[in-house]
Amino acid sequence: MGTEVKKSKKIKSKWFRVAVEGATTDGRKIQKEWIEQMAENYNRDVYGARINLEHIKGYSPDSQFKRYGDVLALRAEEIKTGPLAGKLALLAQIEPTDELIELNKAKQKVYTSIEVNAEFADTGKAYLVGLAVTDDPASLGTEFLEFSAKASVNPLASRKQSPNNLFTVAEETVIDFEEVDPQSDTAFSAMLDRLTGLFKSKSEKDSTKFVQLGEIIEQFATATTERFTNLDAKIVELTNELTKVKKQNTELVELLSELPESPERPISAGGSMDIETDC
């Protein structure tokens, strides 16, 4: 008899803010267009941003500066309330490693900073290439970032994937995690975002668009089929349960119908009417 392999739980974060338009970095400011471009163009098949500590990217999997997860998706959203109302924010959803989850539970590494390539590859558009977590906001604060940019030897240069990349100021972030079904909405939503992005993008050639569109529609159809298959299985299961309950109810009604409508009064056994006198 085979041993059942227990599947590991898949965890993802809820959406959380990682950047806001107008925020100062190393003297440059996050442009609204950058946020729109990062949200629209992020594609893990092209380049998947990973999570690290302090923007330091170690090579050893045993290092403290190993990777702590992946950025699953990005979206742009206007801030509705508070002092930043009206500003466009960049929200991220991540898939953490077990180590990052434990750090989060211990209230460690609660500040986040992103690495932005303002002209990614040959696109000429902004792209998110990394997400860092830190405990020390000053290590990635405005003053230090500006100082580093003006210094003859930039102390942060070795941490950047490209010399012209910029780090955003570390901001305190609340990251909530939740368990998800591996076949649930993460991949499904990502495909919808990619599908929408194709129609928003105006710089790509039509032929490339149609090829990508065909691939996404095929993936979309597969995911939709899986979802309906799972739904059909659930409906069958519920139908069987309902049939079982109906059968039990019918049997109970038949049993009750065989009982008399009202119990008959038991026949009296009678008693002696003689009265005894003690003389």
CA distance 109 to 93: 17
Does 71 score more than 80 pLDDT?
A: yes
Q: Residue 253's pLDDT is what?
A: 77
pLDDT of 1 reads 46
Do the beta carbons of residue 18 and residue 131 sit within 8 Å?
Answer: yes
> What is this structure's pTM?
0.58
Question: Comparing C-alpha atoms, which of 111, 113, 123, 127 is closest to residue 173?
Answer: 111
Look at residue 151 in the predicted model and tell me its pLDDT. Answer: 58
Catalytic annotation present for 113:
yes
Res 241: pLDDT: 80
Confidence of residue 137 (pLDDT cuts 50, 70, 90): low
Residue 171: CB partners within 8 Å, gap ≥ 6?
A: 17, 111, 112, 113, 137
Q: Which residue has the higher pLDDT, 222 or 153?
A: 222
Q: Which of 8, 45, 55, 184 is catalytic?
A: 55
Helical packing angle, 32-41 and 185-200, nearest 10°: 120
Active site residue 55: yes
Catalytic residue check, 201: no
Q: What is the mean pLDDT of the chain?
A: 76
Q: Residue 199 pLDDT more than 70?
A: no
Catalytic residue among 26, 135, 207, 232: 26
- Tokens read off for 162: 């490209």
Please give the helix or strand (H or E) that residue 240 lies within, else none.
helix 206-257
| pLDDT > 90? residue 44 | yes
Radius of gyration from C-alpha coordinates of the chain: 32
How confident is the model over 77-110, as pLDDT tens digits? 999 998 889 999 999 999 999 998 888 888 887 7
Q: What is the pLDDT of residue 111?
A: 83
Among 70, 113, 135, 185, the one annotated catalytic: 113
